[in-house]
């Protein structure tokens, strides 16, 4: 059997990440790690392990690149802003998401649906949504606020529908940005309100849907009532959006040049978002168990009850029949310094990255097999030469190598021992890299 030749990983051309640490734990001298005082929390939802706390998300993903955003390809950085509108209105320099009126109407309808599920009648729902989403005035209120004892409260007072930023008022919008007298969001800063980067998930308030705060507020007739979504003391914690809308057209503008008319037809209006979307971090079962068992930096809850390591091992084995095998391989490669990810899109168990997906392309596609000393076992896949050749060709076409990871268990290991993660201590590993034999290449090397 020929000895495998190591091929260096292919580094990505554009890297937007910084490498902090291979694990979300503190490092001591001589490369020894210790457990941090802070233990992250996750919960099992529909047989998936989800991390909701923004600080835990940042900790788990930034240090080791564990998991992926439920709306994103990797880093949880989902934003509701439409990229084309952000570019179009970049001259305004406002630190709020920019969305279309059509998308905003979708949010309104979703919020109405959630409220109706709580038993509220149509009249109450429509009246509340209308009041909640009315435009907010961001224009100057210096004279009003100077005479008032509560400047912030007056700056946040909803006003009659009017354009906040039009195409001809972008210079004025730049002046108003950041001024608490003119901009009710000026004191909150751009990092918290922006939805275009990773900092968006670091908000500390817990996500709540509009319907979660008014379960007992059903009324039979339309009467004035306190906002079931937002109380007076929570105004500053809500999310605001800029909605691109068409401005009202007046007969006086008939003689205006066509190019100016097109610009004036559109404006940005600041409104409160009735249906906020929060992105969470989803961990694979192997990643979740590694954080619990190997690092001890994560607690997993099911129905608000913390699960022990043995319970998790049993539960994950039921949810995913080959979990024991894939976790053994995951644990082995993580300890070797690789960052394993799910290899489903290439028909394998794992993909191995150096440092993490943001820095390098995957080097290996791994198939994990649990066998005995004679390399016999209940294979999860029944490979034929045809299927194996197809998988190998697919792997080679994406500049990766196909690796078989054989997890060899002792012949005297019982099923009872396999029911505990302590069986990992007795498992041996052998790696086999498969290459396609090319006759012409072999002859050239021999010559």
pLDDT for position 246: 82
Instruction: Using the predicted structure, report yes or no on whether residue 263 has a pLDDT greater than 90.
Output: no
> pLDDT digits over 121-180, tens only?
999 999 999 999 999 876 543 333 333 333 333 333 333 333 344 444 444 333 333 343
pTM: 0.70
Given 52, 116, 208, 361, the catalytic residue? 361
Condensed to tens digits (0 to 9), the pLDDT of residues 335-357 reads 999 999 999 999 999 999 999 99
The DSSP bridge partners found for residue 367 are 404
Specify the pLDDT at position 207: 37
* 88, containing H or E segment: helix 83-88
3-state secondary structure 121-136: CHHHHHHHHHHHCCCE
CA distance 97 to 7: 44
In terms of residues, how long is the chain? 447
Active site residue 7: no
Regarding beta strands 240-246 and 98-100, do their DSSP bridges make them parallel or antiparallel, or are they unpaired? parallel
Is 181 catalytic? The answer is no
Q: How does pLDDT run across 286-323, given as a tens digit for each residue? A: 999 999 999 999 999 999 999 999 999 999 999 999 99
Check residue 376 and give its pLDDT.
Answer: 79
- Residue of higher predicted confidence among 93 and 414: 414
Asked if 16 is an active-site residue, the reply is no
Tell me what the mean pLDDT of segment 233-239 comes to. Answer: 44
DSSP state of 271: E
What does DSSP assign to residue 290? I
**Cβ-contact 266, 247 below 8 angstroms:** yes
Q: Is 344 helix (H, G, I), strand (E, B) or coil?
A: helix
Alpha carbons 400 and 437: distance in angstroms, whole number? 16
Residue tagged active-site, from 132, 353, 360, 364: 353
Q: What is the DSSP letter of 409?
A: P
- Give whole-number Cα distances, 247 to 132, 168, 176, 250, 264, in Å: 21, 12, 21, 9, 7
Q: Which of 112, 341, 400, 409 is catalytic?
A: 400
Q: Would you call 306 helix, strand, or coil by DSSP?
A: strand
pLDDT given for residue 237 in this prediction: 39
Is 56 or 81 the better-scoring residue by pLDDT? Answer: 56
């Amino acid at each position: 059997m020929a000895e495998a030749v190591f091929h260096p990983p292919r580094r990505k051309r554009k890297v937007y990440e910084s490498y902090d640490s291979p694990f979300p734990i503190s490092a001591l001298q001589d490369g020894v790690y210790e457990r941090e005082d802070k233990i992250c929390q996750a919960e099992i939802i529909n047989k998936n392990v989800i991390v909701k706390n923004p600080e835990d998300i940042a900790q788990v993903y930034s240090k080791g690149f564990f998991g992926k955003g439920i709306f994103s390809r990797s880093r949880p950085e989902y934003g509701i802003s439409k990229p084309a509108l952000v570019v179009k209105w970049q001259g305004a320099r406002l630190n709020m998401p920019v969305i279309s009126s059509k998308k905003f109407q979708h949010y309104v309808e979703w919020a109405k649906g959630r409220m109706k599920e709580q038993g509220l009648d149509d009249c109450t729902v429509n009246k509340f949504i209308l009041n909640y989403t009315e435009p907010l005035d961001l224009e100057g209120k210096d004279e009003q606020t100077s005479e008032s004892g509560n400047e912030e409260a007056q700056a946040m007072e909803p006003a009659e529908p009017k354009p906040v930023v039009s195409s001809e008022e972008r210079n004025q919008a730049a002046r108003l940005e950041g001024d608490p007298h003119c901009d009710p969001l000026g004191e909150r800063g751009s990092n918290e309100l922006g939805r275009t980067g990773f900092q968006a998930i670091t908000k500390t308030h817990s996500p709540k849907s509009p319907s979660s705060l008014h379960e007992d507020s059903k009324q039979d007739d339309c009467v004035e009532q306190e906002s079931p979504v937002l109380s007076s003391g929570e105004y500053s914690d809500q999310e605001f959006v800029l909605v691109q809308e068409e401005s009202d057209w007046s007969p006086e503008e008939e003689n205006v040049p066509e190019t100016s008319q097109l610009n004036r037809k559109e404006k940005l209006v600041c409104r409160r978002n009735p249906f906020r979307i929060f992105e969470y971090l989803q961990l694979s079962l192997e990643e979740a168990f590694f954080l619990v068992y190997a690092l001890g930096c994560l607690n997993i809850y099911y129905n608000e009850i913390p699960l022990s390591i043995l319970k998790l091992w049993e539960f994950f084995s039921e949810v995913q029949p080959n979990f024991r095998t894939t976790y053994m391989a995951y644990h082995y490669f993580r300890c070797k310094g690789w960052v394993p990810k799910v290899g489903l899109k290439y028909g394998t168990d794992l993909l191995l990255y150096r440092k993490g997906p943001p820095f390098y392309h995957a080097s290996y596609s791994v198939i994990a097999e649990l066998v005995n000393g004679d390399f016999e076992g209940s294979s999860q896949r029944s490979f034929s030469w045809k299927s194996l050749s197809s998988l190998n060709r697919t792997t080679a076409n994406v500049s990766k190598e196909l690796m078989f990871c054989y997890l060899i268990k002792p012949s005297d290991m019982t099923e009872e021992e396999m029911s505990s993660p302590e069986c990992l201590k007795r498992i041996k590993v052998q790696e086999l890299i498969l290459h396609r034999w090319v006759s012409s290449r072999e002859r050239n090397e021999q010559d």
